[in-house]
Amino acid sequence: MVDAVVGIRANLEVRDVAASMDFYRRTLGMEAVTTMGTPPTFAIVVAGSASLGLVEAEAPAVAGVVAVYVDVTDVAAALARCQQAGAEITMELTTHPWGMRDFVMRDPDGHQVAIGSPSPG
C-alpha cells in the first residue's frame, strides 16, 4: 500500500479537445489550466482540487461503464446545471443503499460520467 497517493486524474480520449473543454466548463464549471497545441490536442481541466485530462483521438475508446466519478457538494445543483447545459442524462438522480446519491450524464464522445455526493442521513 502506497501511503503518499493524494489524488488520481482520469484521462479521456475525445475527438475535439476544445469542444470537450467547453462541455466540461458548461456542465461542471471546469476550466482549462493546461493545453497543448493549436487547436488543442491535450488539456487538463480543473474545478477545485479535481482534474480531468482530455486527449485528442480519432476514434475515442469509450468504456461500457462509467469512466469517471465526480464528487460534488450539492448533487441536485450539479444535476440542474448539467440539464441546463443540455447534457444527456443517462441515469436519473438515484439514492443508493451504500450511502451515495448520484446521476450519470454522457459527454459528447459517449463517455459516461457519474456525479454525486453522500446521501443525507
Specify the pLDDT at position 75: 94
DSSP characters for 3-56? Answer: S------EEEEES-HHHHHHHHHHHH--EEEEEETTTTSEEEEEETTEEEEEEE
Tens digit of pLDDT for each residue in 3-33?
777 778 999 999 999 999 999 999 999 999 9
pLDDT tens sequence across 46-76: 999 999 999 999 999 999 999 999 999 999 9
Condensed to tens digits (0 to 9), the pLDDT of residues 76-116 reads 999 999 999 999 999 999 999 999 999 999 999 999 999 99
